[in-house]
Structure formats: structure tokens, C-alpha cells
Amino acid sequence: MSPVADPFVSVTITATPQHVHLLRTVAAGVAARLDATLDEIEDLRLAVDEAAGRMLAVGPASTLSLAIDPREHRVQVRVATDGGVDGWSPATEHGSFGAQILSALVDDLAFTDDDGHPSVTFTVPLGSSRDA
């Protein structure tokens, strides 16, 4: 993994499906700078795409944000929205089909509700951590 001067990346976009490709591209760019393999980059892109889709499905929102914190042999990711609807809870999200897809791609998957603002956090292993 090559060093990055300021590794933390945060992006906020308009909460529409048409803008999710921007989050995927940012995630892929960060992973590429960390010398991730093509498979690892694609796993991260897919995970960000699915997480963003889950957050958009929660309910009306004006923004969707992505935060990526590269660590040694992994990246920690948080996708959040400023919206939400009554009745959504992290517990119901864990049983969703989207959560099953995410679980196949990532480690440490967690859905949270921060004062009515839903988010999903996860870790994507890079490099030698997959072999450990």
C-alpha cells in the first residue's frame, strides 16, 4: 500500500440515483491510489453503489454523502443521507436483499440511525488482509 498524504476523503452529492456514479468513481480512485487490485477496486465500487442505493431507498433526502478512511490493508467507508422516514430502522435493513449483497462484499457491515439520518458503514479489505 503506498502512502497517501491526506488519506481521508469525503464527498457530498445531491441525493439522486443519477449522481451515484460520482460516489463509485471517487471510491475507485481512492482504492487505485492505495494500489488495490482490480478485483478489490470493483468490490469497493459495487459496495458503494449498493450502500448508496440502500440509503436512497430509505426515503426523501437532499444529500447523500460518502466518507472513505483508508487504513493499513483496508478502507473504512460510510455512506449516509440527510433524509429518512419514520419506521426505518437499522434492524429491518439488516434483513434486506441489499444487506445480503453488501455482506458478500464487505466486512464489519453496520446500519445506523443518527438522529433520523440513516447511514451504512463497512470495511473493505485490501491486499494481504484477504489472505489472513
- The percentage of residues in the chain with a pLDDT greater than 70, rounded to a whole number, is 90
Closest CA to 47 of 30, 35, 33: 30
Residue 128 pLDDT exceeds 60: no
Amino acid code (one letter) for 61 = A
- The cell for 91 is 434492524
Predicted TM-score (pTM) of this structure: 0.87
pLDDT digit string, tens, across residues 25-72: 999 999 998 889 999 999 999 999 999 999 998 888 999 999 999 988
pLDDT digit string, tens, across residues 67-126: 999 988 899 999 999 987 766 777 777 778 888 889 999 999 999 987 778 999 999 998
What CA–CA distance (Å, rounded) separates 34 from 116?
Answer: 34
Integer-rounded Cα radius of gyration of the chain: 14
